[in-house]
Structure 1
Amino acid sequence: MALWLYRLGRFTFRHKWWIIGAWVAIVVALGVLTSALAPKFATDFSLPGTDSDRAMSVMKTDFPAQNDQLLKASTTIVVQADDGLANHTEQIDALAAKARTLPEVVDPQAIANPVTVAEANPAMAARVLSPDGTVGLIQIQQDIPRQDLTPADMAEFEDLLAEFRGNGLQVEGTGALMQVFEPGGAAELLGFAIAFIVMIVAFGALIAAFIPIVTGVLGVGITMLLVTLSAKIIDVQQSATTIITMLGIAVSIDYALFIVSRYRSELNLGGSREAAAGRAVGTAGSAVCFAGLTVVVAVSALAVVGIPFITQMGIAAALAVVIAVLGAITLIPALLGAFGRFAFKPRIPGLHHGDEPDSAPSNGLRFARQLTRHPLPWAIGGLVVLVIAAIPMTNMELGMGSTTDKEYAATQLLQHGFGEGVNGALMIVVSDADGGNVTTAADDVVAHVKTLDNVANTTTLTWIGNGANPANPQAGATTALISVIPELSPSGPETQHLMEQIREYATTSPDGATVNVGGQTAIMADISSKLSSALIPFLVVVVGLAFIILMIVFRSLLVPLIATVGFLFSVCATFGATVWIFQEGHWGLIAHTKPLIAFLPIFMVGVVFGLAMDYQVFLVTRMREEYVHDVPAKESVIIGYQHGARVVASAAVIMISVFAAFMLSSDTTAKMMGFALAAAVFFDAFIIRMVVVPAVITLLGDAAWKLPGWLNRLLPDVDVEGTAIRKIPIEPEADPSAGQPVVV
């Protein structure tokens, strides 16, 4: 493999303009196709095999209007006054009148002062006005799909709320117009900026620092366009694109950084730039390919969860990584060829430039000598730090709430006036497999639900049918729909228990009807359940496949084992730190504490395990490369650390910066994801990969690199160390005009 990559590196370096042109042409062609075809992301949300998915399927067929409305924008204005809403009639009337002017309102007359509605229709009073008359609801239905709402729509609505807030009246909003997805930009730009600064420090030159940025932009652009285009053929949800910028930028820059650094090292050995590019791609490129493969395995394994949008996120992430690898082994050498002898110009005074001899003292060399001199204390110390960080993990809670931080004030008012569950209704669907009348079964379900705890609307609880007569839809109904409003939080354990009680009753219903529970609250609960049940199978698949890949790379059993066990320590430390800040509220980073988002553990494990193995491959392959070329075990750790530590540290800082930049988001979930990924990379790169792993390998000595003979014969020899390349003589620069000595 190394020899093949060596030839590829030389080929792309030699035909640089064709390669660069091909990459640019692909971006342009995909952009034109996307613009011409105008693909749209899917709006349907499914959880195959779950009770909520079956309920939503029945609703889609038998209650199309209600199902359609669930997909359309529905927003609630919550008004509150300590002295009673009746004392603010003029202000609330003006608010309702202004709300009717919002785009595509379905029933403007339904947008009215809750006090007026309660007086005109006492039966509706409990739904719009709190018993003490201090909290009221104004419902807004719009004929706009939720995903089509824009940040401008949200801004207009927030301005509306602010206009009528004051004079003793509190006005807040919750629902679709407060949950609009705000496109990123600031986080990505900040990540790029920090990455550029880090690479200037790493290379000591401007042009070399610019090269990985180019590959990152092109790689992420191609991936985003491909995923968008695929929506024209298959159902793809927009959530699939969220991981592309976060992971695609980071790995593209990391892999480019590794190739460019190795190219600079190979230049220092003398010979032509073309040969140096070939050697860099043949050695570092091999590590990049296998590092990328571990990330692809890790994120693709998200498919075992069985949730379509998470599967799509995993596939999109895998595609981003594949394109990042292709960019590293083709576009990078082409760009190095295009810049030629100017690649490492202009040099930045006062910074190391990477052309110092191996014997020159450096921080990496000094630390490696100290680490290998006392490996046991360093290994124990690193693990103790992670264990301490992991302690808060014992209190970890997982949740799947759908409300945003902007809705917090409104939800507090709802809790005070109506109960927390007013916006988290459980949608019960009662149907007959033979198409028979469901009146008796529906009445029985309603009667049973009224006896359960945590039901807020027992006095008004009833069912609607799909009968042919709009005036009396219960007559001849073959399917019934019951909306149950829980008293307590939709994401709380009490509501989860209520849903389980209804589903348990469904299995013992004496009427022979089928009973399913759907709605957003049930969907979120089913997502959490599937995520929890899939975590162990996911870990088995990811760790098992990655272990095999690492055995092939390192020709060892112990090194992959160390890598895997170390990752478990860093993951536990990350969970502990995330719980400490976001669930327990330390350091004041968030205004409102909340449980960890339910998909964070499995998502973080998938992404960070792949990245952790990246750093393992980047750092330890150089150690093995020296060891297999007859360098003593301890010395090989020092040399490998000296050459790899700076690159791995730079790559980790870039990755941390890209992830941490997402903490700029106003949304706590985005902050949580960004913090968790950044913390995981910090713990794993700087403590596990750069302290614990080299310390343990030093303690093991020659035993670290042993592999049973029978297993050695079974595993393919991929020559990651570039043994075949070392046999190729270093040829002089072919172009005399380029100068005799190679100046870096």
Structure 2
Amino acid sequence: MATLLYRLGRAAFRRRGRVVAVWLLLLGLLGGAAAAFSGTMTDDFTMPGTESQRAMDALERDFPQASGAAGTVVVAAPEGETLEPADLAPLVREAAAIPGVVTAMDPFATGAVSDDGRYALIQTQFESATADITQEQTDAFQRVGADADGLRVEHGGEVVTAQAGVHAGATEVIGVLVAAVVLVLTFGSLVAAGMTLLNALIGVGVGMAGLFALSGSVELSSTAPILALMLGLAVGIDYSLFLASRYRQLLTEGVDPEEAAGRATGTAGSAVVFAGATVVIALSGLSVVGIPFLTVMGLAAAATVAVAVVVALTLLPAMLGYAGDRVLPRARRGGSADAGAKARAHAADAAGGAETGGGADAVGGAETRGGADADADARQRHGRGAGFAWGRLVTRLRLPLLLVGVAGLGLLALPMQDMRLALPDASTAAEDSPERGAYDLTTEGFGPGFNARLVAVVTGDTPEATARAAEEAAGVIDATEGVVTVTPPQPNETGTTALLNVTPATGPTDAATEDTVHALRDQVADIEGADIALTGTTAVGIDVSEKLADALPVYLLLVVGLSFFLLMLVFRSVLVPLKAAVGFLLTVGATFGLTVAVFQEGHLAELVGLDTTGPLVSFLPILLIGILFGLAMDYEVFLVSRMREDYVHGHAPRQAAINGLGHNGRVVTAAAVIMISVFAGFALADDPIIKSIGFALAVGVLIDAFVVRMTLVPATMALLGRAAWWLPRPLDRALPDLDVEGERLQRELAATRTE
């Protein structure tokens, strides 16, 4: 693979004009396609095979007028006053006149007036499903009651959130700006920093434009593009950073620019391919869960990461051809030949090591040394600098640090045992949003259960059987603990399907509501003569959360097993991948614990601008596992590959661990800070889903990079000693040689130089 990438890098450098033109043309074409064919996003979560989805399908088939989007107009009189029919009649007429409305029900006719007469609910049923509601319909619905003097009017329901979506805002730009500052400090060159950032932005632009172009024919959740943007930016910047760093290091050794671009792509590019492949595999693996919206989210993010990899391997070498030696700090430009002469002895020794199988520069070390200035390079060659000092400290105190680190991460994971999952509802929306206003006013007037109403769908072969079963179900439901009210059965035109609206005593994400739903399903299961299924937004959310919770251990086992196998291929060791898998589990546990502590329990919630606490978004844990897996493998490869190189070259295991940190610490630190900055920018977003994902990813990268990979990993490697690189002989013969570190390429280059 390294040899192929070496040729690709040289070709892109040589034909840089064509490469840049192709990418710009592709960006323009996809941008035009996105403008012409993009569709609307949806927050409609479906779950094939669940009872709630089965009931929804039955409604759409047998009771279409009740399967469309619903909206609720919540009306409140001033304190101390009551509502009269004459107050609400104009609002009911306004709602009924909206195009696409099937019915708007008078609260006094349906009994949707509070006991004190101050609050009322105008239930509105639309013909179209939520995904088909237009912006004009949403706007018209939110204008209902605009002229109602003296009354407070709020609007909620599916019709309000149909066009809400999730959009990138100013907070996300903060992360990009921080990343730019880190790049300037790392490279010491505005050209190198700007080129790296521009390269990543073009990749994100291509990926996002392609995603929006497909949104007209593929149903995307509103979260999918933001997740793709978040990951595309983070990995795009990091992958370009690794290649540009390696290229700069080669220039300082006196290597010809075209040759440097080829070698950088062949060595650092191999690690980028491996790292990107792990992220893509993990995200694509979300499809095994069997949940359509999660599959689309995973594939969308995976496609954006794949584009970032291809851009780094082709567009970056082409841009390096235009940049010349301006990627170096101004004081070092034009002096690369002299620097190369001083480094030839070192390079020759490295080439000789390559012939013995060690590789001239493992991926991590190659990348890191390019990011430092001249003094930093000298310090690294002589074993000085912050990275080496930290490495010596970690390996000397390896046992205490391992005990403290594992115990500390275990303590951070403790809140995870109380983790609850649910789909987001209006209670966690921004306080100034219309859906939050309607939710709070409904709770104030009627109690939290009116925001969690359920629908029992009774389907029979004959009208008589359906009627008998519906009446029996109404009695059973009314007698169930946790139910406030149940409406009389509402049959369809043929009488074979009937609806019963059920109001629980507690809110949509309350644990008691989940118990009520399970109790209702158990109670009606014994009724004969018809099929009875419970649905509604609350029931769908419970079913989705339970299915995701059941799939979580299976997916975690799949990801951990995959990481073990991939790292065994790369490092040809049993204990190294085992150590990496344990470190990943520690990262996931601590990240879950901190996320629960902030978003569910409310500790330090004000730091991220969280208005209301509640259960975690049901798909956050499984999504977090997939993403963190790929990112954790990045740092594992970048750090341990240098340790393996030095160990093969004859260094003692402890010194090899020190060298890995000394040569790689700078670039891994920069890469981690960039990722944390990008994710933290999304953690400041208004949308609670994006906020929780951004926070969890930022915390996860922080823990994995600085605690696990840069502390626990070198401490473990020093503790294991030579046993870390043990591999049974039969496995050694059976495993293919991926040449991720570019050893074969280095041997070929060394042979070419001797000829």
What TM-score do you get using the length of structure 1 for normalisation? 0.86
Q: Which residue of 2 aligns with 1:353?
A: 373
Q: Which residue of 2 aligns with 1:77?
A: 74
2:82/2:116 contact within 8 Å kept: no
1:77-156 matches, within 5 Å, as 77-79=74-76, 81-86=78-83, 96=91, 104=99, 106=101, 110=104, 121=108, 123-124=109-110, 126-127=111-112, 129-139=113-123, 146=130
1:506/1:514 contact within 8 Å kept: no
Q: Which residue of 2 aligns with 1:197?
A: 181
Secondary structure of the corresponding residue to residue 120 of structure 2: strand
Q: 1:433 to 1:207 in 2, by over 3 A?
A: farther
Q: 1:570 to 1:491 in 2, by over 3 A?
A: same
Secondary structure of the corresponding residue to residue 485 of structure 1: strand
Q: Does 1:597 align with 2:617?
A: yes
Aligned-residue CA RMSD (Å): 3.3
Whole-angstrom CA distance in 1 between matches of 2:97 and 2:397: 69
Q: Does 1:281 align with 2:268?
A: no
* Worse-matched range after superposition: 670-679 or 648-657: 670-679
| Corresponding letter in the other structure for 1:55 | A
1:489 to 490, 507, 525: 507
1:52-71 matches, within 5 Å, as 52-70=52-70
Q: Which residue of 1 aligns with 2:196?
A: 212
* Worse-matched range after superposition: 516-525 or 223-232: 223-232
Offset from partner CA, 1:285-339 (integer Å, 9 cap, x none): 1111111121122212211221100011111121112111111221111111121
| Corresponding letter in the other structure for 2:232 | G
Secondary structure of the corresponding residue to residue 631 of structure 1: coil
Q: 1:229 to 1:155 in 2, by over 3 A?
A: closer
Secondary structure of the corresponding residue to residue 116 of structure 2: coil
Offset from partner CA, 1:459-498 (integer Å, 9 cap, x none): xx2122222xxxxxxxx42222222222211222332223
* Worse-matched range after superposition: 361-370 or 60-69: 361-370
Whole-angstrom CA distance in 1 between matches of 2:254 and 2:652: 26
2:69/2:159 contact within 8 Å kept: no
Q: Which residue of 2 aligns with 1:330?
A: 314
Secondary structure of the corresponding residue to residue 429 of structure 1: strand
Which residues of structure 2 form unaligned runs of 5+? 334-370
- Percent identity (aligned): 40
Structure 1 position 228, deviation (Å):
3.1
Structure 1 position 212, deviation (Å):
2.4
| Corresponding letter in the other structure for 2:459 | S
1:80/1:134 contact within 8 Å kept: yes
Q: Which residue of 1 aligns with 2:239?
A: 255
Q: 1:613 to 1:413 in 2, by over 3 A?
A: same
Secondary structure of the corresponding residue to residue 586 of structure 1: coil
Q: 1:637 to 1:154 in 2, by over 3 A?
A: farther
Q: Which residue of 1 aligns with 2:717?
A: 697
Q: Does 1:230 align with 2:214?
A: yes
Q: 1:431 to 1:159 in 2, by over 3 A?
A: closer
Offset from partner CA, 1:571-604 (integer Å, 9 cap, x none): 2211222222222222241232212222221111
| Corresponding letter in the other structure for 1:367 | W
1:355-394 matches, within 5 Å, as 356-357=377-378, 358-359=380-381, 361-394=384-417
* Worse-matched range after superposition: 584-593 or 430-439: 430-439
Whole-angstrom CA distance in 2 between matches of 1:435 and 1:345: 83
Q: Which residue of 1 aligns with 2:443?
A: 415
| Corresponding letter in the other structure for 1:465 | P
1:167-186 matches, within 5 Å, as 172-176=154-158, 179=161, 180-186=164-170
1:271/1:730 contact within 8 Å kept: no
Whole-angstrom CA distance in 2 between matches of 1:98 and 1:463: 25
Q: Which residue of 1 aligns with 2:275?
A: 291
Offset from partner CA, 1:502-558 (integer Å, 9 cap, x none): 3224442222x2222222111111100110110111012111122111111111111
1:200/1:209 contact within 8 Å kept: yes
Whole-angstrom CA distance in 2 between matches of 1:50 and 1:160: 36
Q: Which residue of 1 aligns with 2:590?
A: 573
1:270/1:730 contact within 8 Å kept: no
Structure 1 position 560, deviation (Å):
1.0
Whole-angstrom CA distance in 2 between matches of 1:546 and 1:499: 39
Q: Does 1:430 align with 2:458?
A: yes
* Worse-matched range after superposition: 249-258 or 432-441: 432-441
Structure 1 position 59, deviation (Å):
0.7
Whole-angstrom CA distance in 1 between matches of 2:35 and 2:436: 38
Offset from partner CA, 1:71-106 (integer Å, 9 cap, x none): xxx24334254312359x99x679949976997584
Q: How many residues align?
A: 703
Whole-angstrom CA distance in 1 between matches of 2:619 and 2:43: 20
| Corresponding letter in the other structure for 2:519 | Q
Whole-angstrom CA distance in 2 between matches of 1:217 and 1:602: 27
2:68/2:127 contact within 8 Å kept: no
Q: Which residue of 1 aligns with 2:603?
A: 586
1:151/1:181 contact within 8 Å kept: no
1:454/1:498 contact within 8 Å kept: yes
Structure 1 position 268, deviation (Å):
2.4
Q: Which residue of 2 aligns with 1:677?
A: 697
Q: Does 1:266 align with 2:289?
A: no
| Corresponding letter in the other structure for 1:83 | G
* Worse-matched range after superposition: 440-449 or 565-574: 440-449
Structure 1 position 422, deviation (Å):
1.5
Whole-angstrom CA distance in 1 between matches of 2:11 and 2:207: 25
Q: 1:78 to 1:694 in 2, by over 3 A?
A: farther
Q: Which residue of 2 aligns with 1:508?
A: 526
Q: Which residue of 2 aligns with 1:304?
A: 288
Q: Does 1:463 align with 2:489?
A: yes
Offset from partner CA, 1:144-186 (integer Å, 9 cap, x none): 8645779999899989999989x8x665443346542241132
Q: 1:364 to 1:613 in 2, by over 3 A?
A: same
* Worse-matched range after superposition: 675-684 or 43-52: 43-52
1:153-168 matches, within 5 Å, as none
Structure 1 position 430, deviation (Å):
1.7
Whole-angstrom CA distance in 1 between matches of 2:413 and 2:226: 28
2:228/2:301 contact within 8 Å kept: yes
Structure 1 position 251, deviation (Å):
0.8
Secondary structure of the corresponding residue to residue 727 of structure 1: helix
Q: 1:731 to 1:149 in 2, by over 3 A?
A: farther
| Corresponding letter in the other structure for 1:191 | G
Whole-angstrom CA distance in 2 between matches of 1:613 and 1:85: 63
Offset from partner CA, 1:362-421 (integer Å, 9 cap, x none): 221221222223222222232233223223333333333421243455434423422212
1:174/1:411 contact within 8 Å kept: yes
Secondary structure of the corresponding residue to residue 381 of structure 2: coil
Secondary structure of the corresponding residue to residue 666 of structure 1: coil
Secondary structure of the corresponding residue to residue 515 of structure 1: strand
* Worse-matched range after superposition: 397-406 or 708-717: 397-406
1:550/1:560 contact within 8 Å kept: yes
Which residues of structure 1 form unaligned runs of 5+? 112-116, 468-475, 734-744
1:206/1:346 contact within 8 Å kept: no
* Worse-matched range after superposition: 145-154 or 699-708: 145-154
1:290/1:553 contact within 8 Å kept: no
Q: Which residue of 2 aligns with 1:31?
A: 31
